[in-house]
Structure 1
Amino acid sequence: MNMSKIKSKKKLAVILIIISALAIFGFIQFRRANQQNILETQINQVEYTVEKGSIKKSITGSGSVKSSDSRTILSEMEGIIEEIYVEEGQEVNKDEILALYEIESDTSEELNLETQKFNLLKSQNNLKELYEKQNDLETYSEFSGVVTLLVEEGDEVSQNMKIGELKETGVINFQSYFTKNQIETMDIGDEADVFINSSLVTLKGEITQIDKTPVPTGSNSIGYLVEGKINYDGTLEKGSDIKVSVSTDSAYFTSPYTGEILANSIIELKSPYMGEVKNINVKNGEKVDEGQLILNIKSDELEMEIAQQQLNVEKNRLELENLTEENSTVTSPIKGTILTVSTDEQGYIEKGKQLFQIADLENMEVVISVDELDILNVSKGQEVYIESDVFEGESFKGKVKSISLEGSNQSGVTTYDVTVSLEDRKQLMSGMNVDVEILIEEKEDTLIIPIESVTKVGNKYVVSTKDSEGNLKSTPIEVGITTDNYIEVLSGLKEGDIIYYSTEAGAEIPGGVMMPGMGLGGGQGQGRNPDGGSKE
């Protein structure tokens, strides 16, 4: 009896163990299937049509614009500064006298000294005027507009000869009177709503000028003239009646007067000096942007006058130095712009005290850090594109000036300084932050596919296509330019072919069509831009 009970208990225990094992096995299988379902729902299957586009490989960085040559001028002796010949913002030439120390002399010597100071200052001013004329030989657009030229490259021009005209476009100017209370709260740049009476349309504009001179407007009232502009590609008839409302920081009000549309500006382009039209950088009738170079003139006569005047300045400088004691003059070590004047006339200074800060603002540069993995792709003279948030939509050009041979290591990452010189800084100022792009390689009208669609097998690259029966197969391809998002196909595919790949759920897939159940692996992907834009 006892043996029978023991055998029954053993049999029951075995049955329970078997049931528990089956339950555990079933749970594991269920969990695996559930995880597989979750994984599958997290993957998008993509069908992608191969098309042509543009691809660009570049190295980017950021930095601050600075002068290529900046000098601090210190006092080489102690004493009193008798005269200062420059002011902040003034352009000076190399070896130009900036200041003079006080020296002891008799009446005759002092008279000769003052005469020679005058001669030097006069010759320096004459040279400065010639430099300004030389700068004016490059004709820039004062505003956005259409340029009409009356000359061609190689034409001889005389001084003040009309060589073309520039007509303002893309903007409509307007004016209206406002009351005294209204202009007191108004600032240049305030937003304006301009209602066009003839078309019953309101256009957005901004205030550009406020004249606080009272003007009688009739009926014993006084008005104050305000001008503004509307960025608009269309045209409106000059003199059209308008009503202007202005939005300020504290109020919104409408002028009680009827305003009018003004005529767009038209300016004549004239040759500042006699010479030859060297280069024309725009086409006749072409639209140009503000600050764009239109043409430049070469004048041999002006260059000869400048050379002669430089000799005059040097002669007067040497004669002045001969009349003064050794080291009694302070001269500029470079051609540049005076940034700071740190002393006053008749002020006592000690040896080593800072007198002036001068910088060459015409030759600006920016330094960026380039990763060690990219530095071998950078070479001196490479083309560079530069952008600044200050001048939105405007691009500046430059070239790689130098590459540091010594790297800097931080947190295990080594970078090298690359100095980029600006070819035309336009209105960029020292200290402004810029984004720099060094162009490594670029192609247009070439086959491009998303980088996620390509798999490397050994030394070969393959993509997934389908055979005539609809089965997936691996197709080898030859690749060219590779960027973070796209890869160029040199052979193995043609325009219109369809490839298949996978990407994570939620990823953007421009140009791709999601397909179910292809069972492909893959990472995040992006399809080709529908407009065929650049791939970077």
Structure 2
Amino acid sequence: MKKRMEIKRVLIIAVAIIVLGTAVYLLFFTGRSKAKVSTNYQISELKTGDLTQSITGTGTIWPEGTVSIVAPFDFKILSVEVEAGQQIKAGDTIAKLDLDALDTEIMKLKEEISAIDDTIVKVKEKESSTETIKAPVSGRIKQIFAQTGDNVKSIISDNDAILVISTDGKMNVTIETSAVEEGDNVNVEVDGKTYSGVVANVSNGRAMITITDNGTAVGATATIYNGDGDKLGSGTLSINQPLKVTADAGTVSKIYVSENSRVYKGTSLLYLKNLPTSEEYETQIRNRLEKQNLLIAVQKMRESGKFTSEYNGIVNSISINDGMQVAANGEILSLYTGDVNTLTVSVDELDIKNVEKGQNAKITVDAIEDKTYNAKVQSISQVGEVNNGVTTYNVSLKVEGDEQLRIGMNATAEIIVEERKDVLLLPLEALQSTQGEQYVWLYTGTLPKDSGADPGKRTVVKTGLSNASYVEITDGLNSDDKVVIVRTKTTNTNRQQDKMMAPGMDMGNPPQMQGNFPQDKPKPDGTPLGGKPQRQGRD
């Protein structure tokens, strides 16, 4: 009995193994289908046209600038007549005002103006429009630059002085000689007259000689002789110790002295008229003008009972409310101004080197269909922002807007970084690459029946600029050439997969394109912002 039970157990295990093996066979062998590969050829012509490379970014439309409107003086708000987001024009009412408070302000301004007038009278009484310039020291007048009627500021601008006084009674001349010593007496000849001179200083082969300032002119030529009558040298006379006389402003009315005349401290030299008023007087005049203009503004506002805008724009924020007392220079509201809108977009660090100020851009707005706006790059930030390991730089664009374009709208900018005119264009999917060499299949007139055969003549090319659809051909093809685009399709019973690839393509090494390509950086929705186009022939 026990033996029969063991035989029965063995039979059950054997049957289970057979059933399991059958299931595995059916699942992994009979359920699989053989992959089927089909090849499709497309003949494409080259064309000549323009090629544009661009960088794309997204942002929000904002106005070019803002202005803060403040209260010019103290007043009280009765009611606010605008709200945030409202578009207003110059002259529109911002708020209605309390008239009693305006009456108080008018009275206060009149009292302030009256007090300023009293101060102006007092300052004016102390002031004079004329002045006598007197000698600050005794000496001899050696140079006079002024003439009657001259403007003092002009004279000083040209000569650094109105006149010059010799303060020690001496002129000097320097010559190159080593034949004298300090203290030696020499003879100095000036304009045919001989004067006694003294060697005042000898240094490095140069000697300075002094003579009287009486009768000798500045700039005259002086010739020096020793006691034996030997000529030692010659030079130009200068004032030994000059003092420049100046003045702040005015017109020269009279000149009391002449060149070479002797003067003493306190001697009248010049008489000036048309002197400007003092800074104190000018300050009081300016204060009065400001108060007077403010009084006129308050009186006009009192007549209308309204505070109005000076600008066109859109209300950004409001700082006042009904019944509020506003102090002078207190903010009333902030206003978006300017007819030009701006758009700031983020550009990847790999692309920012291609962006320059002044480049053109095309702007599309999510809320406005089938419309494109022109823009220009206005500024490029020098400081990057890092987010998730990626560095981007803000680029600001000026947008030529219209009434449809509104603040806060989401927009996409396509910044044109490079353009090519009338170049030879090849469909990008026709370009193949292997081991760093780029080539195409040149159409020879027939296509192969065997998918393993070359679909045309393998032709090496050189490329330039490219975008997502076309690449510029700089060498290797002509405009009348045709190329073969090869597409393969792999099909089985479980799934179907379409591929575009060419015979001989190295699947382990993606094609390397020549020229400048934008980088694949995703938008928030996942689509590329711009950069290297998606290569054909890869999954």
- Please confirm whether the aligned pair reaches a TM-score higher than 0.5, indicating the same fold: no
- TM, length-normalised to structure 1: 0.42
Rg (Cα) greater in structure:
2
